[in-house]
A and B are shown apart, each in its own frame.
Chain A
Amino acid sequence: GQQVMQIPQYQHVQEGEDFTTYCNSSTTLSNIQWYKQRPGGHPVFLIQLVKSGEVKKQKRLTFQFGEAKKNSSLHITATQTTDVGTYFCAWNYGGATNKLIFGTGTLLAVQP
């Protein structure tokens, strides 16, 4: 079945360093969503991208959707300890029903 691969699985950074996670698919995606899950918590929606080449920013977070709509990235500038958690991309393959296939996630650890 359709898979959404996410790399890296884990990244450890010093506070203030940048961080990027990548999401890749072998087929064209209609959209991509990003979620953050704090340790011991539940996933929280961050953003949805739908257009080819789309770039959206939320404060220090920059989200990109590739031109071919087969990949996406999340970049965090100057990480803070509050950024700790697992970041997941997800593809809505169900249209209006919003059925999601999640990537395997990237766990970000930030050392103060």
Chain B
Amino acid sequence: DAGITQSPRHKVTETGTPVTLRCHQTENHRYMYWYRQDPGHGLRLIHYSYGVKDTDKGEVSDGYSVSRSKTEDFLLTLESATSSQTSVYFCAISAQSIEQYFGPGTRLTVT
């Protein structure tokens, strides 16, 4: 498996609280992505990054922000968590336009 870690792996939080998920890679890959996975929807792209401080929106970016201050770290922030953001969040990395390597996922529950 590629060197990707996500933290935390599980989190329960209350509606309205801020939440930050971290993705860390040791592969020095240029591209990093955040997805959410929900039953019946497959994986949907939230935000992606094409370099340090270079980010852009994906399909379902409302309510989420990201930051990438170092090549190896990509942070996903929910400014004010809502129950609709309960999901499994996957980080992925890619060196070029072929395969993406996924992290182990973070299961987030917003109560």
Judged by a CB distance under 8 angstroms, whether A12 is at the interface is no
Number of A-B residue pairs at CB separation under 8 A = 60
Contact A44 B97 (CB under 8 A): no
Residue of B whose beta carbon sits closest to that of A2: B59
* A42: chain B residues within 8 A (beta carbon): 90, 102-105
Contact B31 A101 (CB under 8 A): no
Judged by a CB distance under 8 angstroms, whether B44 is at the interface is yes
- Among candidates A1, A48, A95, A101, residue contacting B99 with C-beta atoms closer than 8 Å: A48
Interface residues contributed by chain A, number (CB under 8 Å): 24
Interface residues contributed by chain B, number (CB under 8 Å): 26
Kindly provide the distance from the CB of A85 to the nearest chain B CB, expressed in whole angstroms: 13
User: Which A residues are closer than 8 A to B by beta carbons?
Assistant: 1, 6, 33, 41-45, 48, 88, 90, 92, 94-105
User: Which B residues are closer than 8 A to A by beta carbons?
Assistant: 31, 33, 40-45, 48, 50, 56, 58-59, 90, 92, 94, 96-105
Since A100-B45, A105-B42 are in contact, a sample of 12 more A-B pairs with Cβ atoms closer than 8 Å, ordered by chain A residue number, is A1-B59, A42-B102, A42-B105, A43-B90, A43-B92, A43-B100, A43-B102, A45-B99, A96-B97, A97-B48, A101-B59, A102-B42
